[in-house]
Structure formats: C-alpha cells, structure tokens
C-alpha cells in the first residue's frame, strides 16, 4: 500500500502594514496611471469631493445677497456716513423749494437717498438730532409734491419704446414711495394715476429687458438691487 504523501505545511507570512507615506505614494502612482478615469474614485483620505447638490436659483441668489451684506457690514466702519448725511440734507433743502428742474429732481433723489439710508445699518450711525431732522423734513408737503412730479415724468418716459432706464427708475421709485408711506401723502387722484400707469404693458416690458440685460452682463450688484425690489412688490 503506497505510503500517504505527508501534508506539507507552508508558512504564510502576514502582509506588512504599509505606512501612510507608502500608501500615499501608491495611490498617487495609481492616479497618474489612470489619469482621466473617474479620478474621484481614487482620492486620498481628505481629498474626497463634497457631495454635489442642486440648489434653486432663489437659494443661490439669497446666499450671494447674504455674502454681499456681510461684506458691506465689514466695511461699514470706513464708510463716509457724514458725506452721505450732508448730501441727503442738501437734497431735502433743495427739494422743499418751489418747483423747477432742480427742486423736482432733488426732491425725488432725497426720497431715494432717505430710503436706502433708512433701510441700512448706516442709519444707526447718525446722531439722533440728525435722524430727527431728516424724518421731519423728508415729508415736507412741497418736497412730496415735487417728487410726485418727477415720478409722473419718468413713468411717462418709461412707457415709451426704448425707455429702459426711465421704466427701471419708475418701478424703483414707485416701490420706494409705497415702502415709506410717502404714497399716502399724495391726493387720491395722483395715487390712482400712478397705480394705473405704473402697470403699463410697455413699461413692464422695458423693465424685463433691463433685468435680462443685467443678468446677461453679470452685473451682480444691480441684479440684486432690482431683483429684490421686484420680488417685494406687485411686479
């Protein structure tokens, strides 16, 4: 009877644990050899790509607005608030004069300056006596009348073909009037005329073309400004 072949026990060596440096070297070598073939699958620890997510345009824009406001706040200490205050007071004084080309434009710009100053953190930088003076004088009856004349003028211009800047300014001015309750200071006839004419189809078409142009040109600050205004209004 043939003798059974004895079992042979082979010694199996445990693999040596690689050092982090050796692992890195091996992975880098593999990545070079397979360059272009889904490299995200060969990432080193800590190199993994973040999971890609799809966000709505509104969410992305809201994030960009937030970052813009944060940057403005960081720069607020260096902001020349005194210059803005003096310019606003000058516009208010001029806007209280009897109507002419300058007083009508300055009254309109005074409301513009006041609104953006009041709605920003810069308003809190003014002294209380300056705040009080501005609040009292910005609602002067003659100033409001002059500003109304300017608003009617740009609404009419905004209703023309190609009246892009006037249409844009008319919509913005209308919103500013409504936001600050200046609209309630106008008589009922003026309110009705403005409400009807601000919705003119050609005027709205001009505003749409302005916003589309800003988006195409990627003029971000202007996009934010008009997008926010339009979203907060009937438009």
* Inside any domain, residue 208: yes
Give the list of residues 6+ apart from residue 3 with CB closer than 8 angstroms, or none: none
Q: Give the relative orientation of helices 188-197 and 141-158 as an angle to the nearest 10 degrees.
A: 20
Q: Is the pLDDT of residue 220 over 80?
A: no
In a domain, 114, yes or no: yes
- Report in angstroms the alpha-carbon separations of 146 from 33, 86, 180, 216: 75, 20, 16, 36
Residue 79 pLDDT grade (very low, low, confident, very high; cuts 50, 70, 90): low
Does some domain include residue 20?
no
Into how many domains does the chain fold?
1
The token pair at 113 is: 């300056």
**Confidence at residue 116, expressed as pLDDT on a 0 to 100 scale:** 80
Question: What whole-number distance in Å separates Cα of residue 110 and Cα of residue 157?
Answer: 21
> What mean pLDDT comes out for the span 102-119?
90
* pLDDT given at position 191: 95
Cβ contact 105:169 at 8 Å: no
Longest dimension (CA), the chain: 132
Position 31 scores a pLDDT of 55
Least confident of 20-24, 130-134, 210-214: 20-24
Residues 50-58, mean pLDDT to the nearest whole number:
64
Give domain status of residue 193, yes or no.
yes
Question: What is the Cα–Cα distance from 108 to 149, expressed in whole angstroms?
Answer: 9
Does residue 30 belong to any structural domain of this protein? no
Domain for residue 74, yes or no? yes
The more confidently predicted of residues 204 and 63 is 204
| In-domain check, residue 177 | yes
- Residues contacting residue 50 through CB under 8 Å, at least 6 positions apart: none
In percent, the amount of the chain with pLDDT more than 90 equals: 37
Query: Which structural domain range is residue 214 located in?
Result: 58-231
Mean pLDDT value of segment 53-63: 72
Instruction: Please indicate, yes or no, if residue 125 is contained in any of the structural domains.
Output: yes
Can you tell me which residue has the tokens 């907060």? Answer: 232
């Amino acid at each position: 009877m043939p003798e059974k072949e004895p079992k042979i026990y082979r010694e199996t060596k445990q693999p040596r644990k690689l050092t982090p440096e050796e692992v890195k070297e091996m992975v880098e070598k593999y990545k070079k050899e397979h360059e272009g073939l889904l490299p995200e699958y060969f990432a080193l620890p800590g190199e993994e790509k973040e999971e890609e997510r799809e966000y709505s345009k509104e969410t992305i824009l809201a994030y960009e607005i937030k970052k813009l406001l944060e940057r403005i706040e960081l720069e607020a200490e260096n902001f020349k608030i005194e210059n803005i205050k003096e310019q606003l007071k000058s516009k208010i004084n001029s806007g209280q004069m009897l109507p002419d080309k300058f007083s009508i434009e300055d009254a309109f710009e005074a409301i513009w300056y006041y609104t953006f100053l009041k709605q920003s953190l810069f308003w809190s930088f003014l002294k209380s006596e300056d705040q009080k003076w501005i609040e009292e004088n910005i609602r002067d009856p003659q100033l409001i009348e002059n500003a109304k004349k300017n608003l009617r003028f740009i609404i009419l211009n905004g209703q023309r073909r190609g009246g892009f800047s006037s249409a844009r300014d008319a919509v913005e001015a209308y919103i500013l009037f409504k936001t600050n309750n200046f609209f309630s200071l106008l008589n009922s006839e003026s309110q009705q005329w403005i409400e009807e004419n601000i919705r003119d189809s050609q005027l709205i078409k001009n505003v749409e073309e302005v916003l589309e142009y800003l988006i195409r040109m990627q003029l971000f600050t202007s996009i934010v400004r008009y997008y926010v205004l339009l979203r907060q209004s009937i438009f």
